[in-house]
Amino acid sequence: MEKGRIIKAISGFFYVQSGEKIFSCKGRGILKMNDQTPLVGDLVFFSISNEERQEGMLEKLISRSSELVRPPVANVDQLLIVFSYKQPTPNYVLLDRILVTAESQQLQSIICFNKMDLLTNEIDSSLMESYREMGYLVVKTSTITGEGLDSLKRALKGRTTALAGSSGVGKSTLINSMFPQFSLETGAISKKIQRGKHTTRHSELHRIDSETWLMDTPGFSTLTITGLDDSELRDYFKDFATAQLSCRFKTCLHLEEPNCAVKKAVQDGYIHLNRYQNYVKLLEEIRKNRRY
């Protein structure tokens, strides 16, 4: 049996990269029997059914180090969450949703603000900067001026990274700009609604070198937090960590409880108000979904 990695899944076929070769493989019934759905990023054993046509059969999935629902991907080390400074403007609730998901899977996150060339006048960047203070790597980039691309490239080296973010923020363009050997399809955003047109349709893992992989993904703008208890959410807001040690109640959810140190930190400007508001929003959502 051969060993490889699923780089793309389209209409029942799994494309498996093994060295420099890519085999198109079908799944075996045994995977279905075990209720296993192969994901892009999966490490697999496969058998070759036709060497010349590079066709094969998936035989076995190797157990995953991580698994995400959106984007659906296995074995990534980190997420590259991409926003654009303008066209479309940053969606911070989506950012916090993605961060919570990544934290709960113990994945690292890099936050990228792209299209910095569109910055015409000074902006209030306090919210953007607050993510850096929380310990996230925040990179400002432009595929037009080249700003930030080298430091981003360094952060990707030796790891498997999935890109995530809304349509039209420039995910595929970023990959093309950093790695000119790729010419992924990109698409202008709609002038009328200032949104992307969902140019990338399938997730695909691109091999940069034997240790560095990048996954381009279709843009998405909704993400429901699932599989979390309302009491767990607060632990995935990194910026709450220090303050919440001083809340009067150990189990404080930072809502109406007396002597809440997180609310105090928000008032005093140590935690950004926007982050707290997003926390309350996500908490309500988790509680609402639990009722069904």
Ligand X SMILES: Nc1nc2c(ncn2[C@@H]2O[C@H](COP(=O)(O)OP(=O)(O)OP(=O)(O)O)[C@@H](O)[C@H]2O)c(=O)[nH]1
Up-side HSE of residue 283: CA atoms within 13 Å toward CB?
18
Q: How many residues bind ligand X (CB under 6 A)?
A: 24
Residue 276 CB, nearest distance to Zn ion (Å)?
11
170 binds ligand X (CB under 6 A): yes
Name the site residues for Zn ion (rule: CB under 5 A). 247, 252, 254, 260, 262
Is residue 244 within 8 Å of 252, Cβ to Cβ? Answer: yes
Residue 233 CB, nearest distance to Mg ion (Å)?
30
Name which of 161 and 200 has its Cβ closer to Mg ion. 200
Residue 200 CB, nearest distance to Mg ion (Å)?
3
84 binds Mg ion (CB under 5 A): no
Residue 286 CB, nearest distance to Zn ion (Å)?
17
142 binds ligand X (CB under 6 A): yes
Give the relative orientation of helices 171-178 and 149-156 as an angle to the nearest 10 degrees. 90
Name which of 38 and 187 has its Cβ closer to ligand X. 187
Is residue 81 within 8 Å of 110, Cβ to Cβ? Answer: yes
Pick what 4 binds: Mg ion, ligand X, Zn ion, none; C-beta below 5 to 8 Å, kind-dependent: none
Restricting to residues 186-205, which ones interact with Mg ion according to CB under 5 A? 199-200
Residue 193 CA to residue 88 CA, distance in Å, equals 9
Pick what 247 binds: ligand X, Mg ion, Zn ion, none; C-beta below 5 to 8 Å, kind-dependent: Zn ion
244 binds ligand X (CB under 6 A): no
Residue 91 CA to residue 265 CA, distance in Å, equals 24
**Structure tokens that stand for 69 in this block:** 């629902």
Question: What is the contact surface with ligand X in residues (CB under 6 A)?
Answer: 114-115, 117-118, 142-144, 167-173, 186-189, 196, 198-200, 218-219
Question: What is the contact surface with Mg ion in residues (CB under 5 A)?
Answer: 171-172, 199-200
